[in-house]
Chains A and B, each alone.
Chain A
Amino acid sequence: MGHTLFEKIWETHAAAQTAGGSTLIAIDRVFLHERTGAAALKRMAEMGRAVLDPARVFAVMDHIVDTRPGRGDSTLMQGGEGFITETRAACKAAGITLFDVNDRDQGIVHVISPEQGIVLPGVTLVAPDSHTCTQGAFGALAWGIGSSEAEHAMVTGTLRLEKPKTMRVTFDGKLQSGVTAKDMILTLIAAHGAGGGAGHVVEFAGEAVRAMDMEARMTLCNMATEFSAMTGLIAPDAKTYEYLAGRTYAPPHFDDPYWSTLKSDEDAAFDQEIVIDAGAIAPMVSWGTSPEHTIPVDGTVPNGPARAHEYTGLVAGVALAGTPIDVAFIGSCTNSRISDLRRAARLLNGRTIAPSIKKAMVVPGSLSVKRQAEAEGLDKVFIAAGFEWRMSGCSLCFFAGGEGFPEGSRTISSTNRNFEGRQGPGIKTHIASPETVAASALAGAIADPRDYMRQEEAAA
């Protein structure tokens, strides 16, 4: 019987067994941010514990930094500055490499880790951040943990783990035009539930996954946590190594035979298999308060939990498209990379957003993405269309108490969570792809991006 990709990485990192029957899994990389990492470093200092190998620990300011131009340590979030200055001091004391507020490589942790070549195929990487699964796109075992576990990883170089089960999700066939990785992962969660991946490591496979570039693969893996999986991952291929070649922390050559083993064997058995027809996937938009409350953009709101209908103000049976929106947000570790911005900008080019939109903003995932977008003139397209153009960070993917959306707003957002109050008290969030956000901003209501693409094709 062959082995799955996950099992190979697991076996490579099994440093020891514990008396209680769990495994000490060696951790190759730890990434911290100022929101939860500071708490871990502070407690370690209190306990007199040191980082075992600081050269393999990184930190970034992304969660509560302002995204206004000219930003510094002070934040619109009250007390935010303390997180920033404490993180900076703690990283310095511990000898940890920090991507600081205005460092040219600053950005959202899961955007910059690949940009810097910190995540690599076949490594284990943890961060006290649930969306660490994003980095599984590189064939790494990368997953989110709590602050206590981050301390454990930094102090001991390991984590105590029970071996999870394995699941393979195969996307057969080709995606239709206007349909993206975001729509694929939302389709999976809508069909199998927000708890559907619980207890499993999910390998994404199939023709549609192989066809995707690295940025789309990151979007797909990003929401494995919204599926309650331990993480998601994709076997590395030529695209993976091409992406990483020459990055700051990547090795000069990918010639270790270990890398050629990083795929599930033909006869490997998974505990669970799901197959999805990629060609049948439509642009997806959430209607409720869990990512599982998601339907095709041209669908009607189903019967869901009463509280979800009450919160979003959408009753069963109504069409989702045409629902007026107040705010459009493009950003987050899900959809803030250059390809995301290019696709949204293509749709917005030469158009302006509906006058009823109260706020529209684009927050690039990193300062590197921002520079690239500006070199291509995308910033001008967004600004001309009516969007604000920001510095990089997590921004309003969640409301931290500082900058917010207008009270009671309904937002269309390229983020990953439509929880009650996630983007602010009473804010109703609809998650979707960047092109669906752009199309909806133009229409002033939830809209199908394919309609705008058809207009372009007709005009061409």
Chain B
Amino acid sequence: MSAFPQPLTGIAAPLDSGALRDNVDTDAIIPSREMRSTGRTGLADGLFAPWRYSDADARAENPDFVLNQPKFRGASILLSGANFGCGSSREHAVWALAEYGIKVVIAESFAPIFYGNCIRNFILPITLDRSALEGLSGHEITVDLAAQSLTCGDATYPFDIDAEAKQMLAEGLDAIDLTLTQAQAITNWTASDKAARPWVYLEHST
């Protein structure tokens, strides 16, 4: 997996021009019917299918949808309102965004499972307040992960990200590999927990 590019410059594509949409759910990002295999690829085509296509089966584009407009086609930065990524835990939503080329999602807030899925797939979720968000719409912005800041024209906005998530994005770290460096500590903890809570540990029955 590739690390988050820094700095990253691109046009910020707003979901719903004018008023940013709240509660964009993962069914809208990738509907269940677009999840056609057990793999993580082949999903970009189904990204935002309900809004992006006037006829999803025929892949007939809806010209009004933001990512179909010439200025925003292939955008790497997405803007939305509150509670982005709510609903189903399907990581396919993040895989679809990543495969399409989205590197940054900027929203007023995020649903927790989606946020975690972004970090694991090296998409940067940035939380900004509504007024700042609306000022970014359609503009070229530069995201600097190292400096934790976002620049649009003369304005600069700092953003928060947990130190560990930042490091994982910046260095493209695999969470499992990182945790396995502490495998001995986990083994030791499990041995003492087995003594304290033996009922947790099941005999194999299959």
Which residues of A are at the interface with B, using a C-beta cutoff of 8 A?
12, 15-16, 18, 20-22, 24, 26, 28, 35-36, 38-39, 42-43, 47, 49, 53-56, 77-79, 82-83, 86-87, 95-98, 120, 123, 128-130, 144-149, 151-152, 155-158, 160, 162, 193-195, 198-199, 225-226, 228-230, 249, 251, 256, 258, 289-290, 292, 305, 307, 398-401, 417, 419-422, 425
Is B182 part of the binding interface, using a Cβ–Cβ cutoff of 8 Å?
A: yes
Binds A, one of B5-13, B36-44, B69-77, B139-147: B36-44
Q: Which residues of A contact B113 (CB under 8 A)?
A: 130, 144-146, 225
Task: Give Cα A421 to B121, complex, Å.
Answer: 26
Task: Give Cα A21 to B162, complex, Å.
Answer: 9
Task: Give Cα A412 to B109, complex, Å.
Answer: 30
Scan B31-52; emit 1 where CB is below 8 A from any A CB, else 0.
1110111111000000000100
Q: Which residues of B contact A155 (CB under 8 A)?
A: 176, 180
B23 and A194 contacting across the interface, CB-CB below 8 Å: yes
Known: A20-B163, A22-B164. A156 touches B86 (CB 8 A): no
B202 and A56 contacting across the interface, CB-CB below 8 Å: yes
Is B112 part of the binding interface, using a Cβ–Cβ cutoff of 8 Å?
A: yes
Task: Give Cα A214 to B31, complex, Å.
Answer: 32
Is B131 part of the binding interface, using a Cβ–Cβ cutoff of 8 Å?
A: no
Residue of A nearest to B25 (CB): A419
Is B62 part of the binding interface, using a Cβ–Cβ cutoff of 8 Å?
A: no
A292 and B33 contacting across the interface, CB-CB below 8 Å: no
Is B193 part of the binding interface, using a Cβ–Cβ cutoff of 8 Å?
A: yes
A-B contact pairs, 13 of them (CB 8 A): A16-B182, A16-B189, A22-B164, A35-B35, A97-B205, A148-B120, A152-B176, A162-B162, A256-B199, A399-B33, A400-B33, A417-B27, A425-B56
Which of A82, A149, A289, A421 sits near B120, CB closer than 8 Å? A149
Residue of A nearest to B22 (CB): A305
A417 and B25 contacting across the interface, CB-CB below 8 Å: yes
Determine which residue in B39, B82, B91, B110 has the highest number of CB atoms from chain A within 10 A of its CB, and name it: B91
Task: Give Cα A156 to B187, complex, Å.
Answer: 10
The number of chain B residues with a CB under 8 A from chain A is: 64
A55 and B205 contacting across the interface, CB-CB below 8 Å: yes
B112 and A157 contacting across the interface, CB-CB below 8 Å: no
A18 and B182 contacting across the interface, CB-CB below 8 Å: yes
**A417: min CB distance to chain B, Å:** 6
**B125: min CB distance to chain A, Å:** 13
Q: Top 10 nearest A-B pairs by Cβ distance?
A: A20-B164, A401-B33, A146-B91, A195-B83, A15-B189, A251-B199, A146-B117, A38-B38, A148-B120, A16-B185
B179 and A152 contacting across the interface, CB-CB below 8 Å: yes
**A338: min CB distance to chain B, Å:** 26
Q: Which residues of B contact A417 (CB under 8 A)?
A: 25, 27, 87
A398 and B206 contacting across the interface, CB-CB below 8 Å: no
Scan B11-23; emit 1 where CB is below 8 A from any A CB, else 0.
0000010010111
Determine which residue in A47, A82, A149 has the highest number of CB atoms from chain B within 10 A of its CB, and name it: A149
Known: A36-B90, A55-B202, A158-B186. A18 touches B35 (CB 8 A): no
Is B68 part of the binding interface, using a Cβ–Cβ cutoff of 8 Å?
A: no
B82 and A195 contacting across the interface, CB-CB below 8 Å: yes
Q: Which residues of A contact B185 (CB under 8 A)?
A: 15-16, 24
Determine which residue in A12, A97, A129, A228 has the highest number of CB atoms from chain B within 10 A of its CB, and name it: A228
Q: Which residues of B contact A307 (CB under 8 A)?
A: 16, 21
Determine which residue in B83, B113, B117, B185 has the highest number of CB atoms from chain A within 10 A of its CB, and name it: B113
Task: Give Cα A22 to B119, complex, Å.
Answer: 14
Task: Give Cα A73 to B37, complex, Å.
Answer: 15
Task: Give Cα A120 to B196, complex, Å.
Answer: 16
Is B89 part of the binding interface, using a Cβ–Cβ cutoff of 8 Å?
A: yes
Known: A42-B38, A128-B91, A156-B180. A21 touches B201 (CB 8 A): no
Known: A26-B190, A194-B83. A86 touches B23 (CB 8 A): no
Task: Give Cα A130 to B111, complex, Å.
Answer: 11
**A384: min CB distance to chain B, Å:** 33
Which residues of B are at the interface with A, using a C-beta cutoff of 8 A?
16, 19, 21-23, 25, 27-28, 31-33, 35-40, 50, 56, 82-83, 86-92, 94, 109-113, 116-117, 120-121, 162-164, 167, 175-176, 178-180, 182-183, 185-186, 189-190, 193, 196-197, 199-206
Which of A12, A43, A49, A421 sits near B28, CB closer than 8 Å? A421
Which of B50, B120, B182, B196 sits near A425, CB closer than 8 Å? B50
Q: Which residues of A contact B111 (CB under 8 A)?
A: 195, 198, 228
Task: Give Cα A198 to B203, complex, Å.
Answer: 37
A82 and B91 contacting across the interface, CB-CB below 8 Å: no
Q: Which residues of B contact A225 (CB under 8 A)?
A: 87, 113
Known: A152-B179, A198-B83, A419-B27. A146 touches B94 (CB 8 A): yes
Q: Which residues of B contact A258 (CB under 8 A)?
A: 196-197
Beyond the given A26-B190, A36-B91, A228-B86, please list 19 additional residue pairs across the A-B interface where CB-CB is below 8 A.
A43-B40, A79-B36, A79-B37, A83-B38, A130-B87, A130-B113, A145-B116, A155-B176, A156-B176, A160-B179, A195-B83, A195-B111, A198-B111, A258-B197, A292-B23, A307-B21, A401-B32, A417-B27, A422-B27
Task: Give Cα A53 to B186, complex, Å.
Answer: 13
Q: Which residues of B contact A26 (CB under 8 A)?
A: 186, 189-190, 193
B190 and A157 contacting across the interface, CB-CB below 8 Å: yes
**B152: min CB distance to chain A, Å:** 25
B28 and A18 contacting across the interface, CB-CB below 8 Å: no
**B112: min CB distance to chain A, Å:** 5
Task: Give Cα A42 to B186, complex, Å.
Answer: 24
A145 and B89 contacting across the interface, CB-CB below 8 Å: yes
Q: Which residues of A contact B176 (CB under 8 A)?
A: 47, 49, 151-152, 155-156
B28 and A420 contacting across the interface, CB-CB below 8 Å: yes
